[in-house]
Structure 1
Amino acid sequence: MFKKYEIYKKDNYNMLKVEVRGKTIIVREISDQWGEDCHTFVSRPQMMHWAENRFRPQDFIGKEEEREAILTAFKEI
């Protein structure tokens, strides 16, 4: 049994979902540009490090609330 989390879902082609399978955390990033990217982590700190680098502040200028919402959703996992 594993838990599923939805970090964001803009439509059927742009979403980010997380599955927690025991100690393993699988992040599935689906976009209409790149298809599906799958990232596997063995710890929450490792996942948070990836998330903070993936969702950099300079990419969210003017949309700081969106970045904060994404990182908060990751922290709640």
Structure 2
Amino acid sequence: MIKKHQIYKHDNWNMMTVEVQGKYIVLREISDQWGEETHTFLSRPALMKWANDRFPKEEFVGREEEWKEIMDAFKLV
């Protein structure tokens, strides 16, 4: 059984989803700037490390709530 989680979706060209496929965690990021990227993780701690590197809190000054929503979505995976 595959469990799919939506991390964020701004529109059809800017979104991020995570699927739990057995022992694998597959993250798909679609952006109008970079196209589609797929990352595969073997553990939730590895996913969270990637998320913290990808979304550094310093880049969300003045938008802390947006950063918190993204991190909370990752924690639900």
**TM-score (norm. length: structure 1):** 0.97
Between the two proteins, the alignment pairs up a number of residues equal to: 77
Cα RMSD, aligned residues only? 0.6
Q: 5+ residue gaps in structure 2? A: none
**Counterpart residue identity of residue 47, structure 1:** L
User: Which 4+ residue blocks in structure 1 deviate beyond 6 angstroms?
Assistant: none
Cα distance in 1 between the residues matched to 2:58 and 2:45: 22
The residue that corresponds to 1:68 in the other structure is 68
Give the C-alpha shift of residue 61 in structure 1.
1.1
**TM-score (norm. length: structure 2):** 0.97
The residue that corresponds to 2:48 in the other structure is 48
The residue that corresponds to 2:29 in the other structure is 29
**Counterpart residue identity of residue 13, structure 2:** Y
Give the C-alpha shift of residue 58 in structure 1.
1.5
Give the C-alpha shift of residue 65 in structure 1.
0.6
Structure 1 residue 8 corresponds to structure 2 residue 8: yes
